[in-house]
Chain A
Amino acid sequence: MTSTHYLDQFLFAILPYMVLITFLPVTIQRYRARGFTYSSLSSQFLENQQHFWSLVPFHYGILVITAGHIAAFFLPQQLLAWNAKPVRLYVLEISALIFAILSLVGLCAALVRRFTTSKVRRVTTTRDWILFGLLAVQIASGIGVAIFHPWGSSWFAATLTPYLWSLVRLNPNLAAVSAMPWLVKFHIVNAYLVIGYFPFTRLVHVLVIPNPYLWRKPQVVRWYRRPAEAAPKA
């Protein structure tokens, strides 16, 4: 047994459970004890010029990339079937890279805005800076993996999805993950850190966005005012 072996055991078989044990109870406890802190703590009101270039690219980018990772976890065979044709594989990989770059651009814009706008900087806590740092490292390492170790959409489905499912089954199988290049391991470990840090940050807002909009019945909204064309002329 080498020190690398013990390190792998800790990072890929123990850390994920430590993270989950933190994530679930703290998320629930925070909602029960301090439900009003479940907010993105938007600073749009303080500065609205640069805000667009951080908000929109980051959110569209990160949502698509996260959805891709979740799809690879739940539907690995379907993903491999899609990637069976090289053209389709390239389309998927280039699309994923586009959204990853968009999310990095958005995050960089957010960092610049928080550094340069004094009002926004004043409302940014140390906890926020740590979160931004973790997210920046996560997205940058993901882009690095996409460029230096392609084609992740295929090999993730073939090697890391079974590893993640082995964690779910409480029987960690580190055979594939132990042999991964250091950049891939770094990306995975940082993802665990983000999940572990999640309940202490403003990231919790993803759990309380108006999710019922997706399945509730449509509502007719009526404004209590006259239409513009019918309004009396001054």
Chain B
Amino acid sequence: MARRKRRGSLFLGRKKISRPLCVITYVLLAAGAGRAQEAADFFRQNCVSCHTVGGGRLTGPDLKNVTARKDREWLIEFLQSPQAMMDKGDPYALKLQQEARGVVMPTISGMSKERAQALLAMLDAESKLPKSQFAGMQISDRPFTAYDVAQGAAIFRGDRGLANGGPACLSCHTVKSVSEFGGGRLGPDLTRVYERLQGRKNMAAWLFAPATPTMSSVFRQHALKPEEILPLVAFFEDAARRGGQDESAARLNFFLLGLGGAILGLVAMDAAWKRRFRNVRRALVESARRRER
């Protein structure tokens, strides 16, 4: 009997804890850790391109001790629909927009009240750490060199492959005068992106964790390495300074080459099937004429 009792309980110091209670505690702790990890993953995927925790301001404010600056209820409402708060004319939301130089925080897909609460709990925990995992990417302040710019151009064009196997920037983006037929047009023209994102720190943060749906779906699995981000930032800084020519001629040349190739293809098909059967009557007439001759 005594043995059975001992099997059903654990001893912690001098206190005896029943096994069911122990299991429940373990499950609750595991669930809490799971929620925290989920919140951290969500923050990494959706927020770090504009926010740090203790790393200073990017496009959005530094979120260290954010719950000490503003009450929790307001933050939960704002996180669920920033635009709605702006539309209501909320003075604090408008102040945040002004500080972000007019940029409105987008509504994040999958943001619910529960997720907002979990994010704030995670931010509280991260704020207490000497250095948060979301302190942001520390990019060097040294002046960019011509080598950095050349390496950035090689990464952008695809001549230097990305270490984690992501597609080259040229697949979807263009930078004026980057190559003969220009870059891709699925995403925006990045010639002035360095100016739009207001400098190297924001640019590096964006590249570290791109936030648009298309970019995040691709680079979540193939994140850029810090040693790739610095040359790319150098390249974009150089591109913004140089500007460039309109690329509509490159697009026209691409189309004309396709059209010319298709015409050549038609000529080749006509030549390859030169002796094709064209017409019953014509064949009969031609053979009759040959016989007459």
Q: In the complex, what residues of A have CB within 8 A of residue B167's CB? A: 80, 83, 154-155, 157-158
Q: Which residue of A lies closest to B266 (CB)?
A: A57
Q: Is A101 an interface residue, CB under 8 A from the partner?
A: yes
Q: Is A6 an interface residue, CB under 8 A from the partner?
A: no
Q: Which residue of A lies closest to B282 (CB)?
A: A49
> Once bound together, how far apart are the Cα atoms of A149 and B184, in whole Å?
6
Q: In the complex, what residues of B have CB within 8 A of residue A148's CB? A: 185
Asked if residues B213 and A102 are in contact (CB atoms below 8 Å), the reply is no
> Once bound together, how far apart are the Cα atoms of A151 and B250, in whole Å?
13
Q: Is B201 an interface residue, CB under 8 A from the partner?
A: no
> Once bound together, how far apart are the Cα atoms of A90 and B157, in whole Å?
12
Asked if residues A154 and B277 are in contact (CB atoms below 8 Å), the reply is no
A127 to chain B, nearest CB (A): 29
Q: In the complex, what residues of A have CB within 8 A of residue B279's CB? A: 48-49
Q: In the complex, what residues of B have CB within 8 A of residue A154's CB? A: 167-168, 170-172, 184
Q: How large is the interface on B (under 10, 10 to 19, 20 to 34, 35 or more residues)?
A: 35 or more
Given A52-B273, A90-B181, the answer on whether A85 and B217 have CB atoms closer than 8 Å is no
Number of interface residues of A (CB under 8 A): 46
Chain B, 215-264, CB within 8 A of any chain A CB? 216-218, 251, 254-255, 257-259, 261-262
Q: Is A43 an interface residue, CB under 8 A from the partner?
A: no
Asked if residues A158 and B254 are in contact (CB atoms below 8 Å), the reply is no
Q: In the complex, what residues of A have CB within 8 A of residue B165's CB? A: 77, 80
Given A56-B269, A57-B269, A105-B266, the answer on whether A97 and B258 have CB atoms closer than 8 Å is yes
Across the interface, A101 reaches (CB within 8 A) one of B158, B171, B172, B262, namely B262
Interface residues of chain A: helix, strand, loop or mixed (majority): helix
Q: Is B164 an interface residue, CB under 8 A from the partner?
A: no
Given A84-B168, A176-B217, the answer on whether A101 and B278 have CB atoms closer than 8 Å is no
Asked if residues B171 and A93 are in contact (CB atoms below 8 Å), the reply is no
> Once bound together, how far apart are the Cα atoms of A77 and B157, in whole Å?
17
Q: Is B98 an interface residue, CB under 8 A from the partner?
A: no
Given A154-B172, A155-B171, A158-B171, the answer on whether A179 and B261 have CB atoms closer than 8 Å is no
Besides A98-B262, A105-B262, A151-B170, 9 more A-B contacts (Cβ < 8 Å) are A90-B181, A95-B261, A99-B265, A151-B172, A162-B217, A173-B217, A175-B213, A176-B213, A181-B186
| Residues of B bordering A, CB below 8 Å | 157-159, 161, 165-168, 170-172, 179-186, 212-214, 216-218, 251, 254-255, 257-259, 261-262, 265-266, 269, 273, 276-279
Closest 7 CB pairs of A and B: A97-B258, A154-B171, A98-B261, A101-B262, A179-B213, A158-B167, A176-B217
19 contacts across the A-B interface (CB closer than 8 A): A48-B279, A49-B278, A57-B266, A83-B167, A84-B159, A86-B180, A89-B158, A94-B254, A98-B262, A100-B258, A101-B258, A102-B262, A147-B254, A150-B186, A151-B172, A152-B186, A158-B171, A159-B214, A159-B217
